[in-house]
Each structure stands twice: as structure tokens, then as C-alpha cells.
Amino acid sequence: MSEKSLKQSLRPGSRLSGFWLSLCSPTVTEIAAGSGIDWLLLDMEHAPNDLSQITDHLRAAGSANPDAQMIVRMPSSDQTITKRLLDIGVRNLMFPMIQNAEDARRAMSWTRYPPEGLRGISATIRANNYARQSDYLTTYADAQCVIVQVETPEAVAEIPAIAAVPGVDAIFIGPGDLSSAMGHTGNPMHSDVQDKIREAVTAIHAAGLPAGILGYGADLARRYFDNDIEFVAIAGDAWLLTRQMDALVQTMAQPSPTSKQKTDKD
């Protein structure tokens, strides 16, 4: 595992591109990591990625790129899932649907051993190289990156309090659920939603934290980067595969210039 951590790279003013992985394929993870992308997110909330598969994804990413930074978004903010993900070596966690500071404090407590938190101790785990890393219990938090998601107007209003919770490293805006909560389901580009996103980014930066968002495609990703959002998911594996396959099929369905010339001569 690389000595470089996402926490070290993810700073206010950074510009980090990511791929959102939902196809449940370690091979896709390996290909994505080999691209040189800044970070990857393995989605367990809206994709059927199973806990037993996560280690294979971590290995696949690490084999393709030792510096690959993998974030795992959990299926829900849950203490047991948090513990098990950390034990298998996940260092970067995204907690979905954090509404207020109490939600953030609860999530943070699950990532830390006592007395700072409630994480249970297991002596021989992948995270400590199966008990070979003797200083794990005193150094593990240095490499951890805890990201919380704000996905409603109520959560946006609570950003100053959420950001003040010790251990929260970054805040990620969920434009899909935010637009839905604002009455614009399926339309995150609505002007009201975009205004709310800008409000969220301003509050995140005022608290001294980096902001993240989903912004698929080069144009939207650049727009968000130019608006000072530090880490942007520029594409998802399923989204990218669908678009490229559809585009190629449509292109091949059109007559080529050569075939048109032959038809004209006939």
C-alpha cells in the first residue's frame, strides 16, 4: 500500500479528478486505477458492491497503481459496516446523508478507537498487515480521510457545524439528492440547485475544508473545478461505458464516406 494518503493530497485549492465505480468489477477498478486518475470511489450505497468484494477492489487498484486512492461510500452510515471496512484496509470513507453535526460526530466515533471513539479492536486484520504493523493503533488515524455527504438544503445550512466536528476532512455535495429535496428531481442543473451548491461550497471553504461533487463529463467537471471545488467525480464506470458504447454503435450505423461514394458511382 502506498505511503501517500488522500488526506495529504486533498487540501483547499487542490484539483483532483475521480472515477465513480458501481459495476462491481475488480477488473474495471484495475483499469480505472491504471489510468492515473487522482482518486476512485467504490459505491456501496447505490450499487450492489458487497462487503466481501471490497478487498479484491483494493488489491486490484493497488496492483495497477500503488498510489491509487480508493474511497468507499458505505450503503448507509452504520457502525458495524464502518468497522469492517476499516479492518480490511479501507482508509478513505464517505458517509452518506449526513444532516447535522450530531450525525457527523456519530460517524466519526465509529472511525476512532477509544478513548476518541467507539471502534472495536481486532488484533490481526488486513489494515495492520495481519499484526505485522506494530504501530497501527497509534498511527492509523494519520492516513484516514473521512468525507461526509450533504444532500439536502437542511444539511447545507448545517455545514458550519458539521465542518467543525473534529476528524471531518472534507464535505461532498450530492447534487442528485439535493435537487430532489429542492423539488427539482432529476435536474441538478436548475438555477436554484446550482445556487444552493455555490452556497454549500462557500460554507465549506469558510470552514477551511475542501469541497467535492459529482460532475460527469469534461465540461461540467471543468465548470465545477473553475468554481473552486477541489475534488470532482468526472465520470462513472457505468456512465462512461454506456455513453461510449452507444456513441460507437450510432457512429457505425451511419454510412461511411467511402460507401456513399460507391453508391453514387453505382
pLDDT of the chain along its 266 residues, tens only? 456 799 999 998 999 999 999 999 999 999 999 999 999 999 999 999 999 999 999 999 999 999 999 999 999 999 999 999 999 999 999 999 999 999 999 999 999 999 999 999 999 999 999 999 999 999 999 999 999 999 999 999 999 999 999 999 999 999 999 999 999 999 999 999 999 999 999 999 999 999 999 999 999 999 999 999 999 999 999 999 999 999 999 999 998 877 656 655 55
Alpha carbon 230 to its chain centroid, in Å, reads: 12
Beta strands in 70-165 (DSSP E): 70-73, 92-95, 145-150
pLDDT at 263: 56
How many whole angstroms separate alpha carbon 33 and alpha carbon 95?
Answer: 22
For residue 152, which amino acid is it?
T
Q: Can you give the residue ranges of every domain in the chain?
A: 6-265
pLDDT at 1: 47
In 3D, which of 94, 121, 87 has the Cα closest to residue 214? Answer: 94
46 is catalytic: yes
pLDDT at 257: 75
> Which three cell numbers mark 250?
450510432
How many whole angstroms separate alpha carbon 123 and alpha carbon 70?
Answer: 24
Which residues lie closer than 8 Å to 137 by C-beta, 6 or more apart? Answer: 113, 121, 128
* Residue 171 near residue 209 (C-beta atoms within 8 A): yes
Look at the domain 6-265 and name its fold: TIM Barrel (3.20.20)
Which residues lie closer than 8 Å to 105 by C-beta, 6 or more apart? Answer: 165
Query: For residues 10-23, b (16+ Cβ closer than 10 Å) or e, as one string?
Result: beeeeebbbbbbbb
Choose the catalytic residue: 46, 57, 190, 205: 46
How many whole angstroms separate alpha carbon 28 and alpha carbon 100?
Answer: 35
In 3D, which of 18, 38, 40, 44 has the Cα closest to residue 29? Answer: 40
Cβ-based burial of 229 (10 A; exposed 0-12, middle 13-18, buried ≥19): buried
